[in-house]
Amino acid sequence: MGDYIALTKRYTLYTVIIMSLFLVLALVTPYQPIFLGLLLGSIISLSNLWSTYFQVKRLGESVEAGRAKFSLGTLFRIALVLGAVYIAYQYPDNFHFISVVIGLMLTYIIIFINSIFQLKRL
Protein backbone atom coordinates (compact mmCIF):
# COMPACT_ATOMS: atom_id res chain seq x y z
CA MET A 1 0.00 0.00 0.00
CA GLY A 2 2.97 2.29 0.57
CA ASP A 3 3.68 2.28 -3.15
CA TYR A 4 0.21 3.65 -3.88
CA ILE A 5 0.72 6.45 -1.40
CA ALA A 6 4.10 7.42 -2.82
CA LEU A 7 2.88 7.29 -6.42
CA THR A 8 -0.26 9.27 -5.64
CA LYS A 9 1.77 11.94 -3.86
CA ARG A 10 4.22 12.13 -6.77
CA TYR A 11 1.45 12.40 -9.36
CA THR A 12 -0.27 15.02 -7.21
CA LEU A 13 2.91 17.08 -7.02
CA TYR A 14 3.41 16.95 -10.79
CA THR A 15 -0.23 17.83 -11.41
CA VAL A 16 -0.21 20.77 -8.98
CA ILE A 17 2.94 22.16 -10.61
CA ILE A 18 1.33 21.95 -14.05
CA MET A 19 -1.92 23.44 -12.70
CA SER A 20 0.06 26.36 -11.28
CA LEU A 21 1.60 26.89 -14.69
CA PHE A 22 -1.88 26.88 -16.28
CA LEU A 23 -3.06 29.47 -13.76
CA VAL A 24 -0.10 31.77 -14.39
CA LEU A 25 -0.52 31.43 -18.15
CA ALA A 26 -4.25 32.17 -17.83
CA LEU A 27 -3.41 35.38 -16.02
CA VAL A 28 -0.64 36.66 -18.29
CA THR A 29 -1.59 35.52 -21.80
CA PRO A 30 -4.49 36.44 -24.05
CA TYR A 31 -5.45 32.74 -24.21
CA GLN A 32 -7.32 32.77 -20.92
CA PRO A 33 -10.19 30.42 -21.95
CA ILE A 34 -7.71 27.78 -23.10
CA PHE A 35 -5.67 27.79 -19.90
CA LEU A 36 -8.75 28.06 -17.68
CA GLY A 37 -10.15 25.04 -19.50
CA LEU A 38 -6.92 23.15 -18.91
CA LEU A 39 -7.04 24.20 -15.26
CA LEU A 40 -10.66 23.10 -14.80
CA GLY A 41 -9.99 19.75 -16.43
CA SER A 42 -6.84 19.16 -14.41
CA ILE A 43 -8.63 19.97 -11.13
CA ILE A 44 -11.22 17.30 -11.91
CA SER A 45 -8.48 14.95 -13.08
CA LEU A 46 -6.62 15.37 -9.79
CA SER A 47 -9.78 14.81 -7.77
CA ASN A 48 -10.42 11.64 -9.78
CA LEU A 49 -6.89 10.45 -9.00
CA TRP A 50 -7.49 10.90 -5.29
CA SER A 51 -10.92 9.29 -5.51
CA THR A 52 -9.35 6.27 -7.21
CA TYR A 53 -6.61 6.12 -4.58
CA PHE A 54 -9.11 6.07 -1.72
CA GLN A 55 -11.26 3.50 -3.49
CA VAL A 56 -8.26 1.19 -4.02
CA LYS A 57 -7.22 1.71 -0.40
CA ARG A 58 -10.68 0.79 0.91
CA LEU A 59 -10.87 -2.20 -1.43
CA GLY A 60 -7.50 -3.46 -0.21
CA GLU A 61 -8.56 -3.09 3.41
CA SER A 62 -11.83 -4.93 2.79
CA VAL A 63 -10.05 -7.78 1.00
CA GLU A 64 -7.59 -8.13 3.89
CA ALA A 65 -10.49 -8.18 6.34
CA GLY A 66 -12.37 -10.72 4.20
CA ARG A 67 -15.50 -8.67 3.70
CA ALA A 68 -17.21 -7.22 0.66
CA LYS A 69 -17.17 -3.48 0.09
CA PHE A 70 -19.51 -1.55 -2.18
CA SER A 71 -18.48 1.83 -3.52
CA LEU A 72 -19.95 4.52 -5.72
CA GLY A 73 -16.50 5.86 -6.58
CA THR A 74 -16.77 5.26 -10.29
CA LEU A 75 -20.14 6.98 -10.50
CA PHE A 76 -18.72 9.90 -8.52
CA ARG A 77 -15.78 10.24 -10.93
CA ILE A 78 -18.07 10.07 -13.96
CA ALA A 79 -20.32 12.74 -12.43
CA LEU A 80 -17.32 15.02 -11.88
CA VAL A 81 -16.23 14.63 -15.50
CA LEU A 82 -19.74 15.28 -16.76
CA GLY A 83 -19.92 18.35 -14.53
CA ALA A 84 -16.69 19.74 -15.98
CA VAL A 85 -17.87 19.09 -19.53
CA TYR A 86 -21.21 20.74 -18.73
CA ILE A 87 -19.47 23.83 -17.32
CA ALA A 88 -17.30 24.09 -20.44
CA TYR A 89 -20.36 23.68 -22.64
CA GLN A 90 -22.37 26.32 -20.75
CA TYR A 91 -19.56 28.88 -20.52
CA PRO A 92 -17.58 28.70 -23.77
CA ASP A 93 -16.35 32.27 -23.33
CA ASN A 94 -14.60 31.28 -20.10
CA PHE A 95 -13.58 27.65 -20.72
CA HIS A 96 -12.35 26.21 -24.00
CA PHE A 97 -14.13 22.86 -24.41
CA ILE A 98 -11.24 20.90 -25.95
CA SER A 99 -8.87 22.27 -23.29
CA VAL A 100 -11.15 20.94 -20.56
CA VAL A 101 -11.09 17.50 -22.18
CA ILE A 102 -7.29 17.60 -22.44
CA GLY A 103 -7.08 18.74 -18.81
CA LEU A 104 -9.24 15.79 -17.79
CA MET A 105 -6.56 13.51 -19.24
CA LEU A 106 -3.67 15.26 -17.47
CA THR A 107 -3.05 12.77 -14.66
CA TYR A 108 -3.29 9.87 -17.10
CA ILE A 109 -0.67 11.56 -19.29
CA ILE A 110 1.54 12.06 -16.22
CA ILE A 111 1.11 8.42 -15.20
CA PHE A 112 1.97 7.28 -18.74
CA ILE A 113 5.10 9.44 -18.94
CA ASN A 114 6.20 8.34 -15.47
CA SER A 115 5.75 4.69 -16.48
CA ILE A 116 7.97 5.22 -19.52
CA PHE A 117 10.71 6.71 -17.31
CA GLN A 118 10.35 3.80 -14.87
CA LEU A 119 10.79 1.31 -17.73
CA LYS A 120 13.96 3.07 -18.85
CA ARG A 121 15.40 2.66 -15.33
CA LEU A 122 14.98 -1.12 -15.52
Averaged pLDDT for residues 71-100: 94
pLDDT for 85 equals 97
| Model pLDDT for residues 3-60, shown as the tens digit of each residue | 888 889 999 999 999 999 999 999 999 999 999 999 999 999 999 999 988 888 888 7
63 has pLDDT over 90: no
Please report the pLDDT score of residue 47 as a whole number. Answer: 96
Domain limits at 17? Answer: 2-121
Please state the pTM of the whole predicted model: 0.88
Q: How many Cα atoms occupy the beta-carbon half-sphere of 105 within 13 Å?
A: 7
Q: Structural domain tally of the chain?
A: 1
Cα-Cα-Cα-Cα dihedral sign, residues 112, 52, 86, 17: negative
